[in-house]
């Protein structure tokens, strides 16, 4: 075999091994994340279904928002008023977000969403932390394992990027025809059909999957914290960060700001809004009317002075009207002076730093809300293709796996020349901290431990195969 052919074959086999081990690490989590992510894409529809008994109630005999708030507070004595969510459509119940008086030992108070009919009757309530989509979001982001789960998901995402990039190298047609490259050959036997299904699906999903993986990184605990620090140091910050970082909603502002958090559990331990009894009569109705005039994207919240917010510090000495739409490009907020009702401040998407706007577009796409139903359907198709990748890869592995070994592609007899590949790996490691840490750990374990245990070395395929290029 010519020297160039041997070098190319050795490089191919080395990248194949990277692809194999990356896939082995992430396949189970890809199934979990693709499935849970596909469900979460339909959060608006799921939330509406969960609130189905409190919609289309009619407007005859409607009372004021202040009367609705009074009814909610009467149903939960001692609770504090945090936010009023405008009905999505006329005749729907309003949602009043309250902090209950009984807290835990750390001082955090449980929250409740109270649904009040247009006629002022309390219809029911939900714990915001146990809602269907809130549970799915925590499972998708941290596997319900807290910080450890968050790190595990971030590690899987990092290795999934390696899996996709190495898979594209292995797929690269190199002068072949389109059959088996752009579409699978299903009539040439099951072995080739499974191989083509895996390769072709990987090609078509690679771009979409990379976008999903990269747009999910700002939420990840390690990557997101580093990105937040870079934004701060580079002066890219204009207003509060509009996404959570880490499992359970780690603080999204500087650590010195104890008020900035994402989830309701964290919000419950913050400074509280003033008691509803201290609000002047008619004030809520006054600012709900202003909110309706703004024609913001649902959900639209009206927050009293000193109310905690999902992102950023409490509202201060102003009333705040804001949209918290999942399509963050539609989010905006307006603050009003309580005494005069005059506009005090306005913040919208155009005022954000360009970096934050780019991240907002990515998050809206990731959650399936940037382009509506089309975005959701593309997300589902992406999830289905990722599941197809995992299933076809597993089938191929089981079919070719020799008894008594893991079935990893054998090492080439001569080390491959990896200058270009090494540079790519270094760049990926610099961009993905958990990938770098895991690479170092794996190399140390392999060199120091596994290669010194003959049985483990043979089972993992760490010894070059005889005659392998």
Predicted local confidence at residue 303, as pLDDT: 96
For the residues 457-463, what does the mean pLDDT come to? Answer: 81
| pLDDT above 80 for 238 | no
Mean pLDDT of 248-264: 38
**283-288 contacts at long range (C-beta below 8 A, 24 or more positions apart):** 283/66, 283/319, 283/338, 284/65, 284/66, 284/69, 284/84, 285/64, 285/65, 285/66, 286/341, 287/319, 287/321, 287/336, 287/341, 288/65, 288/84, 288/86
**Token pair of 22, please?**
């990356």
Report the distance separating Cα 247 and Cα 144, nearest Å.
9
275 pLDDT band, cuts 50/70/90, is low
Long-range Cβ contacts of 417-422 (<8 Å, 24+ apart): 417/7, 417/10, 417/11, 418/11, 418/14, 421/11, 421/14, 421/15
Specify the higher pLDDT residue, 235 or 346. Answer: 346
Q: How far apart are CA 51 and CA 125, in angstroms?
A: 10
Q: Write down the pLDDT at residue 254.
A: 35
Tokens (6 digits) for 6: 């041997």
| Polymer length of the chain | 469
Sequence-ordered alpha helix ranges (H) in 129-189: 132-142, 146-171
With a pLDDT cut of 70, the percent of the chain lying above it is: 87
Q: Give the pLDDT of residue 408.
A: 85
Q: Which residue has the higher pLDDT, 120 or 452?
A: 120
What pLDDT does 12 receive?
A: 83
Of the pLDDT bands very low, low, confident and very high (cuts 50, 70, 90), residue 413 is: low
Sorting pLDDT into bands at 50, 70 and 90, what band is 418? low
pLDDT tens-digit map of 419-442: 777 788 888 989 999 999 999 999
**Model-wide pTM > 0.85:** yes
pLDDT higher than 90, residue 333:
yes
Give the pLDDT score at 68: 97
Q: Report whether pLDDT(107) > 90.
A: no
pLDDT of residue 385 exceeding 90, the answer is yes
Four-CA torsion 167, 169, 171, 177, nearest 10 degrees: 170
Q: What is the pLDDT of residue 114?
A: 98
- Per-residue pLDDT tens digits for 138-196: 999 999 999 999 999 999 999 999 999 999 988 887 766 777 778 888 877 788 889 88
User: What is the pLDDT averaged over residues 116-125?
Assistant: 98
- Residue 253: pLDDT over 70: no
pLDDT at 251 exceeding the cut of 50:
no
pLDDT(256) > 50? no
Q: Alpha-carbon distance 207 to 218, whole Å?
A: 18
pLDDT at 351 over 50: yes
pLDDT at 11 (0 to 100): 81
Report CA dihedral (361, 362, 364, 369) to the nearest 10 degrees.
Answer: 100
For the chain, counts of helices (H) and of strands (E): 14, 8
Q: Tell me the average pLDDT of the chain.
A: 86
Out of 14-18, 162-166, 444-448, 460-464, pick the least confident: 460-464
- pLDDT beyond 60 at 1: no
Record the tokens describing residue 349, joined without a space.
Answer: 């998407």
Q: Which pLDDT score, from 0 to 100, does residue 245 have?
A: 86
| 78 pLDDT above the threshold of 70 | yes
pLDDT for 111 equals 93
Confidence at residue 260, expressed as pLDDT on a 0 to 100 scale: 35
Q: What are phi and psi for residue 94, nearest 5 degrees?
A: -85, 155
């Amino acid at each position: 075999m010519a020297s160039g052919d041997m070098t190319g074959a050795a490089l191919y086999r080395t990248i194949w091994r990277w692809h194999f081990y990356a896939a082995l690490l992430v396949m189970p989590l890809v199934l979990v994340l693709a499935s849970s992510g596909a469900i979460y894409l339909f959060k608006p529809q799921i939330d509406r279904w969960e609130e189905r008994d409190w919609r289309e109630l009619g407007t005859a005999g409607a009372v004021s928002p202040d009367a609705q708030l009074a009814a909610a507070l009467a149903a939960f004595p001692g609770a504090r008023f945090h936010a009023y969510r405008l009905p999505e459509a006329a005749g729907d119940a309003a949602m009043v977000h309250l902090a209950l008086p009984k807290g835990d030992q750390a001082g955090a108070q449980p929250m409740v969403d109270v649904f009040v009919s247009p006629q002022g009757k309390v219809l029911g309530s939900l714990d915001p932390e146990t809602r269907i989509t809130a549970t799915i979001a925590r499972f998708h982001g941290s596997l319900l394992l807290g910080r450890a789960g968050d790190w595990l998901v971030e590690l899987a995402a990092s290795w999934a990027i390696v899996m996709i990039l190495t898979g594209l190298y292995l797929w690269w047609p190199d002068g072949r025809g389109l059959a088996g490259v752009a579409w699978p050959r299903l009539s040439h036997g099951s072995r080739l059909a499974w191989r083509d299904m895996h390769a072709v699906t990987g090609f078509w999903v690679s771009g979409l999957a990379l976008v999903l993986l990269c747009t999910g990184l700002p939420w990840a605990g390690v990557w997101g914290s580093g990105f937040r620090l870079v934004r701060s140091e580079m002066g890219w910050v204009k207003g509060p960060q509009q996404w959570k970082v880490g499992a359970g909603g780690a603080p999204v502002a500087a650590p010195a700001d104890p008020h900035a958090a994402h989830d309701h559990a964290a919000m419950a331990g913050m400074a509280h809004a003033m008691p509803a009894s201290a609000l002047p009569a008619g004030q809520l109705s006054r600012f709900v009317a202003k909110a309706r005039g703004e024609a913001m994207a649902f959900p639209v919240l009206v927050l009293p002075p000193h109310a905690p917010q999902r992102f950023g510090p409490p509202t201060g000495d102003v009333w705040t009207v804001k949209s918290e739409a999942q399509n963050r490009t539609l989010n905006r907020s307006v603050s009003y002076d309580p005494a005069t009702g005059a506009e005090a401040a306005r913040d919208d998407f155009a005022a954000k730093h360009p970096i934050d706007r780019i991240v907002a577009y990515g998050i809206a796409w990731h959650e399936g809300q940037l382009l509506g139903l089309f975005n959701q359907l593309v997300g589902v198709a992406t999830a289905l293709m990722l599941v197809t990748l995992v299933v076809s890869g597993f089938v191929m592995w089981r079919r070719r796996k020799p008894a008594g070994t893991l079935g990893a592609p054998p090492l080439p007899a001569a080390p491959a020349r990896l200058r270009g590949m090494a540079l790519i790996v270094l760049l990926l490691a610099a961009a993905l901290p958990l990938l770098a840490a895991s690479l170092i750990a794996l190399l140390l374990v392999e060199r120091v431990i596994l290669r010194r245990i003959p049985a483990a070395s043979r089972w993992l395929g760490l010894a070059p195969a005889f005659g392998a290029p």
